[in-house]
Chains A and B, each alone.
Chain A
Amino acid sequence: MLEIQDLAARRGYVMLFSQVSFKVEAGEALIITGANGTGKTTLLRMLAGLSHPLSGKILWQGRETRAFDPVLRNNIMFVGHAPALKDELTAEENLALLVKLAGEEVALGALREALQEVALGARLTVPARVLSQGQRRRIGLARLALVPRPLWVLDEPVTALDPAGIALLTGMMAAHLSKGGAVIAATHQALDLPTGAMRQLSFQ
C-alpha cells in the first residue's frame, strides 16, 4: 500500500534520520518506537504528506507521491498531537466539521452513534472546552470510525486515553486491519494487536 525508500529528514541543521525504508501492505500495522527527538513525528508527517522529505521517495500503490499530493489526502487519515478541536464548539459540532472536512457526508444520527460508541453520548452538546484530554482524544476516535480511509497514520494515539479508551482504540485498529486497512503508528506503549499483523520499527 505505502512504500518508503531511503527517506531522510533534518530539522534546522540537525540530521534526524536517513535511509529509512519500509513497506506497509493491506492488513498490516507498523508500530514505530523510539526515544523522544528521534524524528518519529517528522517521519509520520512526511508519510501523511504534511512535510517534504530531505531526500528519498514515498510511493502510494507503487506510484511516487509528493507532499500534499491529492492521492495521499484522499487515502490517508492523519491523527497528530493536536486533536483539531475548537473549544467554543460542542463535541457534536466539532465531529461534524471534521468529518465534512475529510470530504464525507454523514447524517446526524450516525454522528451521534459514533460518539455513543466512544462513550461520549452524554457529552454531545457540551463545549469542547470542558472536555478532558482523554475525552477530546475520543472525538478523534469517532472521526476514525466515520471516515473510511485505507491507511491510518497515528502519532502517539494512546496519549491521555484511559485503559478503556486504549482498548477501544486497539479494537478499532484490529477491525481496521481485518477489513484490509493498514496502520502506521508511533507509540511508547505496547499495543494489544494481533501479532501476525504487527511489525515494529525502532528509531535510534
Chain B
Amino acid sequence: MTTNSSPVFPVRTAMEPGDGVFTAFFWALRRDLRLALRSRAELGVQILFYIIVVALFPLSMSPDKELLMLLGPGVLWVAALLASLLSLPRLFASDYADGTLEQMALSPLPLPALILGKISAHWLTTGLPVVVLAPLLSIQYWLEPEVIWVLMAGLLIGTPVLSLLGAIGAALTLGLRSGGGSLLALLILPLYIPVLIFGAGAVEAVRGGMGADANFSLLAAGLLLALAGAPFATSAAVRISLD
C-alpha cells in the first residue's frame, strides 16, 4: 500500500477536539446573516406574523383594559413561541436541499460549532426582533413600564432557548414527506413549556411583588443547559437525517 506523502497533498491529520471551533462558528454565523439580509422579505413576513398573532387575541375576546393587562404577557410569549416555530423549518431546509448541509457534515470543521453558528444567526434574525418589538406590542395590552422591562428581559434570555431546542426538532424532521411543520410542532412545543412557564411567570412574579430573580435564574440555567446540549444533539440529528 503506497502511503501518500507527496507534497502536493498537505497531510491533514485529524483535528484535535476544539480546533476550528471559532472558524466554524463565525463561518456559519456570517454566511447565514448574509443570506438573511439578501432575502429580507422573508424576515419581514415572520415579524408580521408575530405582530398579527398578538393583535388577534383582543379581537377574539374583548378590548377590555383589565383583561388585556392580565393576558398581555402570556399572549406575547405564546406569539413568540409560534413565531419561533414558524421560522424553524427554514433553519436547515435550504441547506439540506442544495447539498450544503452534506458539505458541512463532511467538513473538517466541527459540526456542532457550525450548527451553533447557524442557530445564532437564526436567533438574531427571528428571536431578537421579537424581543425588540415587545415594548411596541405591549402598548396594545396596556402593560406597565416595569412589566415591559421584565417581559423583554425574559424574552431576551428565553428566545435563544427556543432557537436551540427547536434546532433539534428541525434537524430531526429534515426532508420528511409529511411536511416538517406540524410534526415539528408536535415534537418541539412540549419542550418549550418550561420556557413559557418561567418567562411568563417572571411577569406575574413582579406583579405579585416577589421579584423575577428566581424566574430569570431558572431561564438562564435553561439557556446554559440548552447551549451545552443542543448543538451536539442537533449535529447528531443532522447526521441521522443525511444518512
Q: Which residues does A use to contact B, with CB under 8 Å? A: 1, 25-26, 48-52, 61-62, 67-68, 70-76, 78, 80-86, 88-89, 93, 97-98, 100-103, 148-150, 179-181
A148 touches B9 (CB 8 A): yes
B106 touches A48 (CB 8 A): yes
A62 touches B1 (CB 8 A): yes
User: Which range contains the number of B residues in contact with the other chain?
Assistant: 35 or more
Chain A residues near B20 (CB, 8 Å)? 103
Q: Given that A86-B100, A180-B4 are contacting pairs, would A67 and B107 also be in contact in the complex, using a CB cutoff of 8 Å? A: no
Query: A84: which of B12, B39, B100 is its contact (CB, 8 Å)?
Result: B100
Q: Given that A82-B97, A101-B103 are contacting pairs, would A74 and B12 also be in contact in the complex, using a CB cutoff of 8 Å? A: yes
A103 touches B4 (CB 8 A): no
Number of A-B residue pairs with CB-CB distance less than 8 Å in the complex they form: 108
B10 touches A148 (CB 8 A): yes
B178 CB-CB contact with A under 8 Å: no
Chain A residues near B111 (CB, 8 Å)? 68
A54 CB, nearest partner CB in chain B, Å: 11
Extra A-B contacts (20), CB below 8 Å, given A70-B15, A148-B9, A180-B8:
A1-B1, A25-B2, A26-B6, A61-B3, A62-B1, A68-B105, A71-B14, A75-B12, A78-B102, A82-B97, A83-B98, A84-B99, A89-B38, A101-B27, A102-B103, A103-B109, A148-B10, A179-B9, A180-B6, A181-B9
Chain B 24-42 interface mask (CB, 8 Å, partner A; 1/0): 0001000100110011000
B243 CB-CB contact with A under 8 Å: yes
B62 CB-CB contact with A under 8 Å: no
A49 touches B106 (CB 8 A): yes
B239 CB-CB contact with A under 8 Å: yes
- Once the chains are docked, how many angstroms separate the CA of A180 from the CA of B105? 26
B145 CB-CB contact with A under 8 Å: no
B124 CB-CB contact with A under 8 Å: no
B99 touches A50 (CB 8 A): no
Residue of A nearest to B103 (CB): A84
A179 touches B12 (CB 8 A): no
Residue of B nearest to A175 (CB): B8
Chain A residues near B39 (CB, 8 Å)? 88
- Once the chains are docked, how many angstroms separate the CA of A132 from the CA of B107? 26
Residue of B nearest to A27 (CB): B2
Chain B residues near A1 (CB, 8 Å)? 1-2, 4
B106 touches A84 (CB 8 A): no
- Once the chains are docked, how many angstroms separate the CA of A178 from the CA of B98? 32
Query: A26: which of B4, B31, B38 is its contact (CB, 8 Å)?
Result: B4
A81 touches B8 (CB 8 A): no
B106 touches A73 (CB 8 A): yes
What are 8 A-B pairs at a CB distance below 8 A? A80-B99, A80-B102, A82-B97, A82-B99, A82-B102, A83-B99, A150-B4, A180-B4
Chain B residues near A148 (CB, 8 Å)? 8-10
B233 CB-CB contact with A under 8 Å: no
B60 CB-CB contact with A under 8 Å: no
Q: Given that A50-B105, A84-B102 are contacting pairs, would A25 and B14 also be in contact in the complex, using a CB cutoff of 8 Å? A: no
Q: Given that A26-B4, A150-B4 are contacting pairs, would A102 and B242 also be in contact in the complex, using a CB cutoff of 8 Å? A: no
Residue of B nearest to A62 (CB): B1
A200 CB, nearest partner CB in chain B, Å: 21
A74 touches B13 (CB 8 A): yes
B108 CB-CB contact with A under 8 Å: yes
Residue of A nearest to B99 (CB): A82
Chain B residues near A150 (CB, 8 Å)? 4, 9
Query: A50: which of B8, B34, B102 is its contact (CB, 8 Å)?
Result: B102
A81 touches B35 (CB 8 A): no
Q: Given that A78-B102, A80-B99, A148-B10 are contacting pairs, would A67 and B4 also be in contact in the complex, using a CB cutoff of 8 Å? A: no
Residue of A nearest to B30 (CB): A97
- Once the chains are docked, how many angstroms separate the CA of A74 from the CA of B6? 16
